[in-house]
Amino acid sequence: MQTRSDALSHYPQIGQLIGGAYETGGGRAMHDITDPTTGQVLGQYPTATEDDIARALAAAERGFAVWRKRSAFDRGRVLRKVADTMRERANELARLVTLELGKPWKEAVAEVEQAAGMWEWYAEEGRRAYGRIIPAREAHARQLVMPEPIGVVAAFGSWNAPLITPSRKMAGALGAGCAIIMKASEEVPACALALGRIAYECGLPEGALSILVGDPILISERLIDAPCVRGVTFTGSTQIGKQLAARAVSQMKRPIMELGGHAPVLIFDDVDIAAVAKAAAAAKFRNSGQICIAPTRFFVQRKVYGAFNEALAKAANDLVLGCGFEESTTMGPLVSSRRVKAMQGFVTDARQKGLGIAAGGDAVQREGAFFAPTVITDAHTESMVANVEPFGPIAATAAFDSYDEAIGLANRLPFALAAYVQSNNVHTVNRAIDDVEAGSVICNGWRVSLPETPFGGHKESGIFAEGGVEGLQAFQHVKYAYVA
């Protein structure tokens, strides 16, 4: 584990990665990067210019022409080397995650491993991008179906998983044979840029990957409107995702959207409530609750509702807030002060509506963007927290009496990203898998995303999936060929 002062001394100069060349300064407008742990300036990033974007697009066209012709075996060797290098530099990469996002060190190290696993997965899965032969109607003819890369991909990542989200997009697109231009988040740019530089060290051909930092509107409009771009992948809010998807679809470009959620948790009275509450708190407050799949709306069978609230509140109160580089820290800051204000809005609404506050409820009076892990009880359907994803360290609980009531509460909102079920009754679990509307339904566990599993939502939570074989197929189209 590293010290904060050592990490600060190694924070890199931020630039633009255009076709393999790392460019800093150059008269570009500079903007501050804020340290969420202290509220002080961590560094600065140069804003990508119109010329930067144009050069990245030109480089992507050239890079795609080369990369798509590489065999899947050769592409896989590059991606595997990226995974190996990430693991060799795990401390260096974790240091960036903890500095830029404030994640506790152990969580940052775990993120490095999961991100490396995505590069490793697509190194292998690209070699299994099978086509098929359809039996022909004529003798000696062949009907072939062949997967091909869709082309240049424009990618937009969120700040809350600064290595995982870029890795899922980069590795999936590159594994399929595409070139990719990624807009890094302005809050955590060093993480994505570090991945890009490693990829080029490992043999990626010039132009196959570019990473831009700057004005989201300018970059998104220029990339999506570029003729060479054939796919758009975005992770972020439903509102922004709809705008990007509409722009992409209007030009018949594939939208791959991983959007907002508000994950329900159904807890039945046949489970060990103390154990479930402890595990639920770990899942809910990981990354300070800044996870789109974070369990948030806890619906608990009435018989054990009071016991669950008490246990969840205790687990929340036991968390130690602080700098991610301190070994005792179990929850870090929010990404910025604006997120603290957002949390205060949820608590104010809860108090005005007479809801209970079993734990937390206030900003922490110290430097940085800290908010106490909070448990809001009796969160009826008219409350803000029952309808709007907090994307922070706030859990909301409510009681239910019957299975049908629980399913109705889980499916009430238009979001369907992740959901959780806790029950020792196999019949209840199997029914819930069928009845709960979500892209992922996790029963008696809390882990949603793995390199080998699809990750995406239904309804207003997204279109298509990344991760797993589906994440390769998202960046491919199929060609039918007939040979007589």
One of 3.65.10.10, 3.40.309.10, 3.40.50.460, 3.40.50.620 is the CATH number of 263-452, namely 3.40.309.10
The structure tokens listed for 215 are 């004005």
Determine which one of 178, 191, 202, 292 is catalytic. Answer: 292
Is 111 annotated as catalytic?
A: no
Domain boundaries, the chain: 4-259+461-483, 263-452
- 3-class DSSP string for 361-375: CCECCCCCCCECCEE
**Model pLDDT, residue 26:** 85
Asked if 100 is an active-site residue, the reply is: no
Which numeric CATH code is attached to 4-259+461-483? Answer: 3.40.605.10
Tokens read off for 154: 């424009």
| Tens of pLDDT, residues 120-168 | 999 999 999 999 999 999 999 999 999 999 999 999 999 999 999 999 9
pLDDT per position as a tens digit, 361-404: 999 999 999 999 999 999 999 999 999 999 999 999 999 999 99
Question: E strand or H helix at 45, and its extent?
Answer: strand 41-46
Closest C-alpha to 324, from 34, 89, 99:
99
H/E segment holding residue 458:
strand 458-459
pTM of the model: 0.96
**Which residues lie closer than 8 Å to 12 by C-beta, 6 or more apart?**
43, 190, 193, 194
The pLDDT value given to residue 2: 79
Note the pLDDT of residue 328: 96
Q: Which of 111, 258, 389, 466 is catalytic?
A: 258
Q: What are the residue ranges in the chain where pLDDT is below 70?
A: none
